Structure formats: structure tokens, C-alpha cells
Amino acid sequence: MSRSHSKSHTIGSLLVSQFFGAFNDKAWKLIVTLLAIRTLEAHVSGGDAEFQRLSQFQTTWTFCVLTLPLMLLSLPAGVLADRLSKRSIIIWMKWIEVALMSAAAISLFAFPDDGFPRLLILGLMGAQSALSSPAKYGILPELLPHEQLSKGSGHLEMWTFLAIILGTVSGGLLLDGAGEII
């Protein structure tokens, strides 16, 4: 296998990894939010105004649970990415993501009425994303020649934004498709 083919395969793998990471974050965040609102709907008897207030609070809380670890761990994650193998960080964080998403699926069935496990997993997903992000962006100069860095970064961003959009749309569709199971 030629060196350029190996590197293009590696970039492709990085883009796929980034896509599914961002997709999972957004889809799970929306599923957690919608399930919390569904629970509120079943238990709130204070009328439309009370339901709306609690729904907005729950939505904000869910967004904070994902975003706070991203903010708090970004700097330490950058230090780790400078000191450890970026490739190893990316691989370990992907394994952690697979474990977290497996736990997420299990939590839907094991704790159907308990939002805490779902929120905990969401927060851990934020931490996992924060810890992997500097390594994913920092590995680009190791994989691409200098003249292709802007293009590679652009591809990484494009796949990230595509995943954010599709994950946000798919979260509701996946939950709806699960129907009575969840």
C-alpha cells in the first residue's frame, strides 16, 4: 500500500469517526430532551404555562449537561493531545463513545422512567467529545502535507456540521421510530 493511499484512508477514517461522534452527541441530546419533555407531559398538571416553563427548563438543562463538560475539559484535553499520541487518544475516545452509546441504549430499556442515567450518559458524552476534539484537529498536520491542511480542516468541519444537522433531525425520528418500545 502506498504511503499517500494509507494517509487518505486515515483521513477518511477520521472524517467518518468525527461524523458519527457529532451525530451521536446531537441525536442523544435530542432523545434525552424529548424523553424528559414526554415525562413532564405525563406528570405535570399545572396547565400549559407550567408545562411550557418546565419544558424550557428541561431543554436548557439538557443542553447544559452536554455543553458544560465541553467547556471545562477543552483546555486539559488540549494539553493531553500535546503530550500523548493523538492517534491513541482518538482510538480510546472512540471506544469510550461506543461504550457510552451502548449504555445509552441499555438505559432506555433498563430505566425507562428515570432521566438521571440518560443525563449522566449525556454529560459523559460531552466529556468524551471534549477529550477527543483537540486530538482530532491536532492530528491533521501529522496526516496531511502543509498545502492540504486548510482543505482537510474544511472537510472535518463540513462532516461535523452535516452530522450535527442529521443527528438533530434523526434524534426525534429515532425516538418516534422506537414507538411503544421506549
Question: Over the Cα atoms of the chain, what is R_g?
Answer: 19
Residue 40 lies in a domain: yes
Element (H, E) at 67: helix 48-83
DSSP state of 45: -
Cell numbers at 99, concatenated? 461504550
Query: What is the chain's mean pLDDT, rounded?
Result: 89
Residue 74 lies in a domain: yes
Question: How do residues 27-60 score in pLDDT, each as one tens digit?
Answer: 999 999 999 888 888 777 767 888 888 889 989 9
**154 confidence band (pLDDT: 50, 70, 90):** very high
Residue 50's pLDDT is 83
Q: Which residues of 18-46 are buried (b: 16+ CB within 10 A; e: fewer)?
A: bbbbbbbbbbbbbbbbbbbbebbeeebee
DSSP state of 46: S
User: Domain limits at 35?
Assistant: 20-181
Q: Does some domain include residue 67?
A: yes
Distance CA 67, CA 62 (A): 9
Residue 13 lies in a domain: no
Q: Please tell me the total count of domains within the chain.
A: 1
Is there a domain that residue 2 lies in? Answer: no
pLDDT tens, 62-90? 999 999 999 999 999 999 999 999 999 99
- pLDDT at position 9 is 64
Query: Can you give the pLDDT at residue 179?
Result: 67
Provide the pLDDT for residue 137: 92
In a domain, 95, yes or no: yes
Position 168 in a domain: yes
Give a yes or no: residue 5 inside a domain. no
For the chain, the farthest-separated pair of C-alpha atoms sits apart, in whole angstroms, at 67
Q: What Å distances lie between residue 76 and 31, 66, 112, CA to CA?
A: 29, 17, 35
